[in-house]
Structures are given as C-alpha cells and as structure tokens.
Amino acid sequence: MGEALLVGPSEVAEGLERIAKEIVERDRVDDLALIGIRQGGEAVAQELGRKLGRRSGKVIRLGSVDITLYRDDAATALPSPRIGPSHIPFDISGSRVVLVDDVLYTGRTIRAALDALLDYGRPRRIELMVVADREGRELPIQADYLVAKTEVPSGARVEVLGEGDELRVVKTEGRRSRAPKPEETP
C-alpha cells in the first residue's frame, strides 16, 4: 500500500509553531492542558506541548484520552475492542483544555472525546486542534486550530505519521487494518 505526502514535516512544524503562538495570544496558559486523543493525537499533543512550553516559559500539562467505549459505533464496529488507558493525571475542572487529534474527518471521534473528557471534570473552555482537516463532516464540529486542509477522495485514508519535528501528513489507499469480524474468520 503506497503513501502520498500531503503535508511535509517542515510545514507541520511551522504550523504547530504558529498554533502555539495563537494559543498563547488567545488566552492565558496558566490553566492550559493539552489532551491528545489516543492514538493519533498523542504525538501531536507532545510536540505542541514542547513548542508551547518554549514559547510561554511555562510547564504545559499533558494528558491523553481513550475514546473506545465512547464511540457511537462501539457495539457494532468493535466486536473485540482494544481499550487503551486514558491518562489525565490532573483536574481539568475550570481549566482551558485544548483537545488534540491528528485528522478531523466526520467529527465522530471528537464527539466521543468530548464525552470522555467531561467524565474527568468540567473545563472552563475546550478548544480543538488538529493537524489535518480532510472535510466530510457528519457532525457540526470544526477545529479552532488547524495546520492544513487536505482534499482526498472518500476511499483514501489520511494519517499523521512520525514524531517530534518529523510529523507529516500522508494519504494511503484503503481503510485502516482491523481485526477480522467473527464471520470472516475461517
């Protein structure tokens, strides 16, 4: 399965630097928390946190949230779900939370993440940051901070790969690999 580069590492790094500046300028960072959506948003949140820390001189709180059980298709699409840990080792009540993900598509992942996040407290404000917006929304959800918009055919998959300054956006053909459904196993 081939990959086509949509947004290169330097563009992603520049976009994250721009977003860090916007986040600092928009509101105070004293109560800021970055929460990456497992799995794609974790590496992005870590890199954005580094950039925010350098820019603001503050330690930025980082966490991650697993949305597996909050998905609206959990019962039908996930016969054997792999539930990962959420890691939010601080109180988010009254905080400014930036929810971080790699790709925004239908909006369903973000809806699930919002539901999961609210189980941890009631933030003062929740903002959304994504690396790539590939259009195709099914829910009225938009990013507050965005690195790049991408245009890809509906059958293509958009992924953010790499870590640190090597984050990049690629297009692959087909769907994410998954475990076979019970009726598909021989």
Residue 174 confidence (pLDDT): 60
Cα→Cα distances 43→6, 131, 167, Å: 18, 11, 8
The model scores a pTM over 0.85: yes
pLDDT tens-digit series, residues 37-56: 998 999 999 999 999 999 99
Q: 3-class secondary structure for the chain?
A: CCEEEEECHHHHHHHHHHHHHHHHHHCCCCCEEEEEECCHHHHHHHHHHHHHHHHHCCCCEEEEECCHHHCCCHHHHCCCCCCCCCECCCCCCCCEEEEEEEEECCCHHHHHHHHHHHCCCCCCEEEEEEEEECCCCCCCCCCCEEEEECCCCCCEEEEEECCHHHCEEEEEECCCCCCCCHHHCC
Q: What is the pLDDT of residues 50-73, one digit of tens each?
A: 999 999 999 999 999 999 888 776
Give the domain ranges of the chain.
11-74+85-154
Q: Which CATH architecture group holds 11-74+85-154?
A: 3-Layer(aba) Sandwich (3.40)
User: Is the per-residue pLDDT at 149 higher than 60?
Assistant: yes
pLDDT surpassing 70 at residue 90: yes
Which range among 102-116, 124-138, 160-174 shows the weakest confidence by mean pLDDT? 160-174
Convert the pLDDT of each residue in 112-146 to its tens digit. Answer: 999 999 999 999 999 999 999 998 899 999 999 99
